[in-house]
Structure 1
């Protein structure tokens, strides 16, 4: 009887210990670069198609049965780079961005915050500094990382933060990387937009139309859309600005000179046609 009770107590303690060692918040055991490696392998071989474990392991020179390969798969899905069911894998929308050099920086920054643990730490220290190593590990435990996993969780977290660009302003603070927005098509060539692509389809042998003055283009850009409310006072002001722009941009025609005195008689005497510019001549 006592032996059974002791065995039950030992089993309960073992179960309690295992429960304490089980993490309750998601985080990967492999860093962001390993996830990107898998994404690049899929992109290079099947593009937006899917593949199975055997193919992906072969493409990355790994054994499909190795724990390292399974760890990479788990990390890639945790970072939001891969998706699929069972042993089938394909790039997610974020994964397609992360293999694109023009979008990789932004995609890496987003992937970092796909991890629940990393998102919690980022939100908790936004605008401040993150604590030193020991304190950071204690914080991770408080967020749900198992005690025995805290060191590895911190190490992978720091590597991933570096790879995602969050340590660009120092390793003691997490700063969302700045993403430079590329120029839009309108910004690259506003005159082309105004002229319907600049193909000159209305005539002229397909050549480009002359560019509109920036002042006029700016006023045209301020026109409301059809059907929008546009008060009369604002319409008048817009027309006044347009008229003033015309005076600034365009020149008046040169004044025409009147024919010299006696010009009509001279032309008549020598059998010349009348001067079309003359007014009130004897030929009128």
Structure 2
């Protein structure tokens, strides 16, 4: 009977030990840069999606090997890929992190914060200088990382933070990097400028009243024939438009137009 009790106690202790060595918060076993390389391989070789076995071959690894599975798991945790039925596919974030138009830095920030542990560390230390490695390891254990895995968690956290730009080079503080917005394309800029200028196509100075713009468009080119009667009509029309859209200067007490000077 005593032997059974000892066996039960041993079994309970083993279960407790296993629990101690299992992390209760998610973190990748490889860093963000390594995960981006996975996304890049998919993009270069297949565009957006490929079989797991193909990806492993392109990376020179075994599809059932621990190293390959670790890198795939990290890329999924960062939100760069998703997998189903033996295939892996780039997510929109996975495409953005490879974009050369200025989107990639912001995508790296999002990928870093997708990791539960890294996001918790950001909330804990944002705008502060990160503590020494032993203190970081104590913190990740408090957040739920197994003591047995604290060193690995610290390393992937620090490497990923550096790669995503969270460590300010000037102050050493742990801060979210500023992200430059995507530049508008030239056609978009021209359309915006056109709207601001009242819709003119660039041939008239900006800020002109639409009636004046229309009036200017009626002017013939220099050297063209312009009969005197039509010139008079244009000038009369201009006078009417100017009277409608502009104000006269207020008169002074002596009836003279006010000059605007004291």
1:90-118 deviations in whole A, cap 9, x for unaligned? 00010010111222111111100000000
Structure 1 residues 243 and 174: CA distance shift in structure 2, 3 A: farther
**1:52-131 maps to which residues of 2 (within 5 A)?**
52-102=51-101, 103-131=103-131
CA–CA distance in 2 between the matches of 1:62 and 1:211?
A: 62
Moved more, 178-187 or 70-79: 178-187
Indicate if the aligned counterparts of 1:131 and 1:172 stay in contact, CA closer than 8 A. Answer: no
Counterpart of 1:211 in structure 2 is 203
Q: SS at 1:113's partner residue?
A: helix
Structure 1 residues 86 and 136: CA distance shift in structure 2, 3 A: farther
Q: SS at 1:83's partner residue?
A: strand
Deviation (angstroms), 1:121: 0.6
| Unpaired stretches in structure 1, ≥5 consecutive residues | 199-207, 218-238, 245-284
Counterpart of 1:157 in structure 2 is 157
User: Which protein has greater RCO, CA pairs closer than 8 Å, 6+ apart?
Assistant: 2
Indicate if the aligned counterparts of 1:191 and 1:212 stay in contact, CA closer than 8 A. Answer: no
TM-score by length of 1: 0.67
**1:1-284 maps to which residues of 2 (within 5 A)?**
1-48=1-48, 50-102=49-101, 103-169=103-169, 172-185=172-185, 188-190=189-191, 193-194=194-195, 209-216=201-208, 243=246
1:98-157 deviations in whole A, cap 9, x for unaligned? 111222111111100000000001011222222221111111111110010001100110
Q: CA RMSD in A?
A: 2.7
Indicate if the aligned counterparts of 1:81 and 1:94 stay in contact, CA closer than 8 A. Answer: yes
| Unpaired stretches in structure 2, ≥5 consecutive residues | 210-241, 248-262
Aligned length, in residue pairs: 210
Q: SS at 1:84's partner residue?
A: strand
CA–CA distance in 1 between the matches of 2:112 and 2:120?
A: 11
Deviation (angstroms), 1:180: 1.2
Counterpart of 1:268 in structure 2 is none
CA–CA distance in 2 between the matches of 1:25 and 1:117?
A: 6
Q: In terms of Rg, which structure is larger?
A: 1
Indicate if the aligned counterparts of 1:52 and 1:89 stay in contact, CA closer than 8 A. Answer: yes
Counterpart of 1:234 in structure 2 is none
1:226-254 deviations in whole A, cap 9, x for unaligned? xxxxxxxxxxxxx99x748xxxxxxxxxx
